[in-house]
Chain A
């Protein structure tokens, strides 16, 4: 492996401009992909936050006894879509209204009777925070005689999931398009490097170099170029996140696994493209 690394290093130092250009092209391609990944990741974080707010509130009749509440809780505990249930008493509901609606505080304080019903706030499991999951819980709970009404913001849930689906499809399509563009740019950058050394390959073939002697340094060079481009692209993305968080608004960094996949992809693409380009040259060139 020694001579291969030496030859790779020699080639990089012999044509620093070309190597630099290839690395810059790859890093720019993956910087753009990184920015897209940042947008998608942060958008999904917001969606997740909104999704966590999806809950079903069952309002309890004033006539309900503690046993009725226990019964309702027992029913809900057996529903797989339910993650947790919180009982809010009439008093707690009034306190909450006072707290959250200060403009009506005078009205609330002058009431003779507390008009607000007790309720059960039902949190759904992450997988069940869908229109179907929500409706399933609503159907079960609303049939109970002690339940006065159920609120779950059907329109909001439907709109949220429609938006979520559109966002998912758009991210997938744009993600594929950006990945293909970045891959093509990486391939072109590496191929330019191989083409620039076409003469070298020709001479090596001419004087009787074994194919693998010609191929290995190019594979190592492709790996180096891809790796360096990928790391630089990730660094540029990171710097952008830091600058945006400092001067514009907080942006969350993408998961490290995404970065690893990205850098591993540039490295693999570098090796594969280099291999294909050299193989092609070996077939094309004849003295």
Chain B
């Protein structure tokens, strides 16, 4: 999802995560309707839809493993499984060697890897990412994009907001939505079937 600042990308993501409600119309996400989902039931949607931020939003006073384990605990993962599942997620996002490091000791790219691992904790069907590479250098950006593609290829839809279309130039399978001042001005279908 591309567009300049203020085009409405973040708003679309927030609407999809039901962090905001539409003033008009209705938002459907994986069977949840914004009109029919009460605030107290939004947690059900959020266990199916992960969210990744530009500024990572991790718990700085905890280790990598604790950040992941914290979320697993929040989503009621059986206690015995938390350790094993956390290790699995760390491996999946490629940060398992830094499991005991404090968050503030990691680079931006590594922090984003942890944030992606956290978003995957509940096996979401959809990942929403708001400028996830906005704070990263070129190498880290490539690493995160590769990670996104690998997650996508394993069956999770990713809706990513970016102002940098170069990020997907080598991926014709991506569908590009272009927004301008809150309007969808372009919807290019994937060039290859997936």
Q: Is A208 an interface residue (CB 8 A)?
A: yes
Q: A286-B20, A287-B51 are in contact. Are A208 and B61 (CB under 8 A)?
A: no
- Residues in B with CB closer than 8 Å to A208 are 43-47, 74-75, 122
Taking CB atoms and an 8 Å cut-off, the chain A residues in 202-221 that contact chain B are: 202-211, 213
B65 at the interface (CB under 8 A from A): no
Task: Name B67's closest neighbour in chain A (CB-CB).
Answer: A203
Q: Is B84 an interface residue (CB 8 A)?
A: no
Is B175 in the interface zone, CB < 8 Å from A?
Answer: no
Q: Is there contact, CB below 8 Å, between B74 and A207? A: yes
Q: A16 to B122: give the CA distance in the assembly, Å.
A: 31
Bound: A86/B100 CA distance, A:
86
Contact of A199 with B71 in the complex, beta carbons under 8 Å: no
Residues of chain B within 8 A (CB-CB) of A204 are: 74
B61 to chain A, nearest CB (A): 7
A200 within 8 A of B: yes
> Total A-B pairs in contact (CB under 8 Å)?
56
Q: Knowing A208-B47, A286-B20, A287-B14 touch, does A213 contact B57 (C-beta < 8 A)?
A: no
- Is A203 within 8 A of B59, CB to CB? yes
Contacts of A210 in B (CB 8 A): 40, 43
Interface presence of B93 (CB below 8 A)? no
Contact: A213 with B74, CB < 8 Å? yes
A202 CB, min distance to chain B CBs, angstroms? 7
Q: How far is the CA of A199 from the CA of B115 in the complex (A)?
A: 14
- Most A Cβ at <10 Å: residue of B44, B46, B74: B74
User: Taking each of A15, A202, A204, A287, which has the highest tally of chain B beta carbons within 10 Å of its own beta carbon?
Assistant: A287
Contacts of B58 in A (CB 8 A): 203
Q: Is the CB of A199 within 8 A of B53?
A: no
Find residues 2-53 in chain B having any chain A CB closer than 8 Å to their own CB. Answer: 14, 17, 19-20, 40, 43-47, 50-51, 53
The answer to whether A199 and B43 touch across the interface, beta carbons within 8 angstroms, is no
Considering only CB atoms, which chain A residue lies closest to B60 in the complex?
A199
Determine whether the beta carbon of A203 is less than 8 Å from that of B57.
yes
**CB of A280 within 8 Å of the partner chain:** no
| Interchain CA distance A28-B130 in the complex, whole Å | 46
Indicate if B89 sits at the interface (CB-CB under 8 A): no
Whether A207 lies near B59 (C-beta < 8 A) is no
List residues of A whose CB falls within 8 A of some B CB: 3, 14-15, 199-200, 202-211, 213, 286-287
